[in-house]
Structure 1
Amino acid sequence: MTRPTGNVRLKAARVAAGFNSQQDLADALSEHATRMGIRGLSIGARQVRRWESDSPPWPQPDCQRVLVQLLGQSLEALGFTPPWGAHEPASGPGPRTPAPRAATGLGLPGAPGRVAAMPQPTTAGTDFHAVTKSHRRLYWSVAPAGLHPAVEAHATLGCLLLRDAAEPTRSVIAEALAETYLLAGRIEFFDLREPGLAHETLLLALQAAGEADAPLLGSAVIAHMAFIPGWVGDRDAARERMTAARTYARRTHASAEFLAWLDAVEAECETRCGDTRTALHLIGHAEDVLKDGNAHASPEWMDWFSPARLAAFKGNIQLLAGHLPQARATLLEALEAMTPGEEKQRTVVYGDLAAVEAASRNPEGACLYAGQALDQLALTWYATGMDRVREVRRALSPHQHERCVRDLDDRLYGWATTVSALSR
Structure 2
Amino acid sequence: MSRPPGNTRLKAARLAAGYNSQQALADAITETAPKLGIRGLAVGVRQIRRWESATPPWPQPDVHRVLTHLLGQSMEDLGFTPPWASPRPQPGTPVDNTPRTPLYGTRLATVPAQSAAATQPPSVGRDFAAVTRSHRHLYWSVAPAVLHPAVLEHARLGCTLLPETGSPARQTLAGALAESYLLAGRIEFFDLRQPDQASETLLRALQAAGEADDPLLGAAALAHMAFIPGWANDRETAVERMLAARTYARRERASAEFWAWLDAVEAECETRCGDPHAALRLIHRAEDTLAVGAEHATPEWLDWFSLVRLAAFKGNTQLKASHLPQARQTLHEVLDGLPPESNKQRTVVLGDLAAVEAADGRPKEACRYAIQALDQLAITWYATGMDRVREVRRTLAPWQNEQCVRNLDDRLYDWGTTVSALQR
TM-score bucket of the superposed structures, by smaller chain: 0.7 to 0.9
Is 2:86 the counterpart of 1:115? no
Look up the match of 1:325: 325
Measured in 2, the distance between the counterparts of 1:73 and 1:347 equals 51
Measured in 2, the distance between the counterparts of 1:401 and 1:82 equals 59
Measured in 2, the distance between the counterparts of 1:90 and 1:141 equals 48
Percent identity over paired residues = 66
1:88 Cα deviation from its structure 2 partner: 2.5
Inter-CA distance 153–364: structure 2 relative to 1 (3 Å threshold): same
| Long gaps (5+) in structure 1 | 1-11, 15-64, 92-105
SS of 2:401 mapped into structure 1: coil
SS of 1:300 mapped into structure 2: coil
Measured in 2, the distance between the counterparts of 1:108 and 1:187 equals 20
Look up the match of 1:204: 204
Kept after mapping to 2: 8 A contact 1:188/1:195 = yes
Inter-CA distance 90–285: structure 2 relative to 1 (3 Å threshold): farther
Measured in 2, the distance between the counterparts of 1:13 and 1:377 equals 57
1:81 Cα deviation from its structure 2 partner: 8.3
Kept after mapping to 2: 8 A contact 1:193/1:383 = yes
Look up the match of 2:195: 195
1:218 Cα deviation from its structure 2 partner: 0.6
Which of 47, 50, 54 is 1:73 aligned to?
A: 54
SS of 2:121 mapped into structure 1: coil
Inter-CA distance 346–166: structure 2 relative to 1 (3 Å threshold): same
1:110 Cα deviation from its structure 2 partner: 3.1
Q: How does 1:22-421 map to 2 (within 5 A)?
A: 72-74=53-55, 84-86=84-86, 88-89=88-89, 108-111=111-114, 114-116=115-117, 119-421=119-421
Kept after mapping to 2: 8 A contact 1:87/1:110 = no
Inter-CA distance 171–71: structure 2 relative to 1 (3 Å threshold): closer
Inter-CA distance 407–291: structure 2 relative to 1 (3 Å threshold): same
Kept after mapping to 2: 8 A contact 1:264/1:283 = yes
Measured in 1, the distance between the counterparts of 2:306 and 2:54 equals 48
TM-score when scaled to structure 2? Answer: 0.77
Kept after mapping to 1: 8 A contact 2:81/2:87 = no
Kept after mapping to 1: 8 A contact 2:84/2:110 = no
Kept after mapping to 2: 8 A contact 1:83/1:156 = no
Runs (4+) of structure 1 exceeding 4 A deviation are 68-72, 80-83
Kept after mapping to 2: 8 A contact 1:280/1:317 = yes
CA deviations over 1:41-64 (Å, ceiling 9, x no partner): xxxxxxxxxxxxxxxxxxxxxxxx
Measured in 1, the distance between the counterparts of 2:119 and 2:388 equals 49
Kept after mapping to 1: 8 A contact 2:50/2:57 = no
1:123 Cα deviation from its structure 2 partner: 1.4
1:194 Cα deviation from its structure 2 partner: 1.0
TM-score when scaled to structure 1? Answer: 0.77
SS of 1:305 mapped into structure 2: coil
CA deviations over 1:202-245 (Å, ceiling 9, x no partner): 11100100110100111001000000111111111111100110
| Long gaps (5+) in structure 2 | 5-45, 59-79, 92-108
Inter-CA distance 190–82: structure 2 relative to 1 (3 Å threshold): farther
SS of 1:361 mapped into structure 2: coil
1:294 Cα deviation from its structure 2 partner: 1.2
Measured in 1, the distance between the counterparts of 2:328 and 2:124 equals 49
